[in-house]
Structure 1
Amino acid sequence: MSKEDLIEFTGTVTELLPNAMFRVTLDNEHTILAHTSGKMRKNRIRVLAGDRVNVEMTPYDLSKGRITFRFK
């Protein structure tokens, strides 16, 4: 899948789950399950409840996503 096929949203982390998973409420009030991207894991960027994040989603499964950026 190419990068052009991904859909980007912004949202707020509402819950921390086991195995580095997060429940994110998007700005359009949908709730999804998301994990951190590899570069965020490699650089040890912490994501906590209440953080504003960018989420990438595939058009095939709109219930899961990948956190790509944490806003300061």
Structure 2
Amino acid sequence: MSTDRKKRRQLEAKIIEVLPRSLFKVKIEDGREVLCHVALPVRNTVGRVLEGDRVLVELSEYDPKRGRIVEHRSSSPR
């Protein structure tokens, strides 16, 4: 794994919509909406990611409207 991965921008976000094919629409704290997928290590450790959950998102350096969920912070009250 390269050291560039550590330099990527990570931001707090909230899941606002669960989409088909394991995609999620999240809202970053600055108000932007980003389309994300769940990183494999997170998918293996967290059972389900649901609407309202707080997550840490790593934005793509090539497309700022896409990213991946790299950490599950907290669940919404159900």
Offset at residue 44 of structure 1 (A): 4.4
SS at 1:3 equivalent: helix
Structure 1 vs Structure 2: percent identity of aligned residues? 31
User: Which residue number corresponds to residue 7 of structure 1?
Assistant: 9
Amino acid at match of 1:3: R
1:23 aligns with one of 19, 22, 25: 25
Pairwise CA RMSD:
1.4
Higher CA-based Rg: 2
Q: What number of residue pairs does the alignment pair up?
A: 72
Cα distance in 2, alignment partners of residues 42 and 26 from structure 1: 24
Cα distance in 2, alignment partners of residues 43 and 4 from structure 1: 20
Offset at residue 54 of structure 1 (A): 0.1
1:54 aligns with one of 53, 56, 76: 56
User: Which residue number corresponds to residue 40 of structure 1?
Assistant: 42
Please report the TM-score for the alignment, with normalisation by the length of structure 1: 0.89
Alignment CA distance shift 1:70-1:63 (3 Å)? same
Amino acid at match of 2:8: L
- Where structure 2 has 5 or more consecutive residues not aligned to the other structure, the ranges are none
* Bigger fraction of residues in strand: 1
Amino acid at match of 1:13: I
Question: Quick check: 1:5–1:59 contact (8 Å CA) kept in 2?
Answer: no
| 1:69 and 2:35 correspond | no
